[in-house]
Structure formats: structure tokens, C-alpha cells
Amino acid sequence: MVESFIILFREAFEAALVVGIILSYLKRTGATSQYNTVAYGTAAAIAASLATAAAFKMLAVNFEGANEEIFEGITMLVTAALLSTMIIWMIRVKPSVKQIENETSSTLTGNKWGLFFLVFVSIFREGLEAVLFLSGLDIEGANGLIGGFLGIMVGVGLVYLLFRGLIRLNFKVLFNVTNTLLVLIAAGLVAHGFHELQEAGVVTFLGNVVWDINPALNADGTYPALHDHGSIGGFLSSVFGYNGNPTALEVLSYLLYIAIIILGAKIGKGNNKVVAA
């Protein structure tokens, strides 16, 4: 629930922020007749995101046993790789309000489809990120849906309050916090992906268990809270990739992934811009 909330909050917030900037620019320049174009682009992007999510789901159900573990492991690793480039890109070259307004201005003086595709691409990019993350995490059930729905509502709601002038937000702090959470979630995906490939027998090196801090099962056969299948350990496992008995490859890949992201962020720090989307 928490991981779906974090992911969809971040993506919904960014998408709504872009739409809000475009609508504000259209209102300020007297181009309110283009509101419908923004609405159509938004609807098309949401539909495309849902279709992509359904396609991922349909593809996943075709695998069983070891093939399922291989598919899940590869999906997690590919997801983490793609989203890593997106995270680093957001840190380095995320467009500013002025850039979005300039793009909007350019589309208004170009062909009639320009604004539609600007909105569509901006929102679908966020939707694709969410689909990749949620597919990699394999989030299912009512809790995942509730968390995702609340994330979308809070993200869109904050943007609405922001543009109504009812609240002020420190974008740098907000994006730094959410970026950090997304990196930790992605690191867990990497470790879990290699775990699945080791379970399937595809990856056979560094398979020795580094430590085992999982407590013994309760007398009734249930998992203790701190077990990685228990209430607390399970939460940490689903959100941050915690494992009570990880292999050497899982630990190494988790730490190496975080180190690579930190290095990528530092390399691009000099190009970082003050962002609002």
C-alpha cells in the first residue's frame, strides 16, 4: 500500500503540475479555447497508461514455475534500469516552468496537434514510469489499489491547492525526498530481481547467504513481525527490498545500485536546474 502510494503520488503530482502550468499559461495568454485540447491529451495519456498496465498484466500470467521467476526477475531488473535513467534525468535536466511555457507557446503557433501531443507525452511519461514500477513490484490486491488511489488523489489535490494559492511547496525538498524513496524502492527491485533469477537457477554465483536474522516461526506457524514475511519485515521488504537472509549477490547489487545512482546524480549536479515540474 505504501509503495503504491509513494509511486502514484509522485507521478500524479508531476503530471498534474505540468497540466497546471500549461492551463495557467493558456489562461494568462487568452488561449482558453485550447482547454479542450489539454483535456483530450490528458484523457488519451491516461487511457494509454492503463492499456500499457493491462498489457504487462496479460503478459505476466502466461508464465509459470521457473519461467515465472525468470520473467519476474528480468522485469524487475529492466524496470530498475529504465527508471534509473529517468531518476537521474529528473535530477539533472528536469524542465523548469519557463521551459514548459516555452514549449506550450511553440505548440500554439505550430500545428493544431502540437499542444495535444505535448500534454499526451508529458502525462504518458509519468504513467509509463508508474506502470514500470508497479509491474516490477508486482503490487496486487485491495491495499495496493487503495494506496495508489490515495496517492493520485493527494498528488492532484496538492497541485490544485498550489495553483489556487492556498498552499506553498518547497519543490526542492519534495523532489529530493521522493527521489530518495524511489531510489530505495528501485534498489530493492534490483536485489529482488537477482533473487528471483537465483531461485530459477539462471544466476548461480554469489549465492551464499550473508546473514540470516529472520526469527523462528511462531508456535502456531505464523511469521513473527520482524520476519521478512511478517507484518514489519514484510512492509520493509515490499517497500525497500528488505531481506532477512539475503545472498551475497543481493547485498552487493543493492549497495552497488545506490552507489551508481549517487555517482550519476553528482556528475550531473552542475547541470541541475531549479525545477517546478
pLDDT in tens, 186-202: 898 899 899 989 988 89
**Does the residue 232 lie in any domain?**
no
**Does the residue 276 lie in any domain?**
no
- Is residue 189 a contact partner of residue 241, using CB atoms and an 8 Å limit? yes
In the predicted structure, residue 25 carries a pLDDT above the cut 80 = yes
Q: What is the pLDDT of residue 61?
A: 66
For 92-102, how does the pLDDT look when each residue is reduced to its tens digit (9 = 90+)?
656 566 777 77
For 184-240, how does the pLDDT look when each residue is reduced to its tens digit (9 = 90+)?
888 988 998 999 899 888 998 999 999 999 888 888 888 888 888 888 888 788 777
Percent of the chain residues topping a pLDDT of 90:
18
> Which residue bears the cell 488523489?
153
**Does the residue 227 lie in any domain?**
no
Q: What is the mean pLDDT of the chain?
A: 81
247 phi/psi in degrees, rounded to 5: -85, 170
209 forms beta bridges with: 247
**Does the residue 166 lie in any domain?**
yes
**Does the residue 188 lie in any domain?**
yes
209 phi/psi in degrees, rounded to 5: -75, 125
Domain that holds residue 67: 2-210+246-271
**Does the residue 149 lie in any domain?**
yes
- Is residue 228 a contact partner of residue 214, using CB atoms and an 8 Å limit? yes
In the predicted structure, residue 42 carries a pLDDT above the cut 90 = yes
Q: How many domains does the chain have?
A: 1
> Which residue bears the cell 514500470?
132
For 255-273, how does the pLDDT look when each residue is reduced to its tens digit (9 = 90+)?
999 998 888 777 655 554 4
- Is residue 276 a contact partner of residue 238, using CB atoms and an 8 Å limit? no
For 70-123, how does the pLDDT look when each residue is reduced to its tens digit (9 = 90+)?
888 888 888 888 778 777 766 665 656 677 777 777 777 666 688 898 899 889
**Does the residue 62 lie in any domain?**
yes
Percent of the chain residues topping a pLDDT of 70:
86
Amino acid, single-letter form, for residue 221: G
**Does the residue 181 lie in any domain?**
yes
Q: What is the pLDDT of residue 277?
A: 39
Q: Which residues contact 85 (CB under 8 A, 6 or more apart)?
A: none
The alpha carbon of 66 is separated from its chain's Cα centroid by a whole number of angstroms, namely 27
In the predicted structure, residue 43 carries a pLDDT above the cut 80 = yes
Pairwise CA distance, residues 114 & 111, whole Å: 6
Q: What is the pLDDT of residue 249?
A: 95
pTM: 0.72
Q: What is the pLDDT of residue 140?
A: 57
Mean pLDDT of 169-188: 82
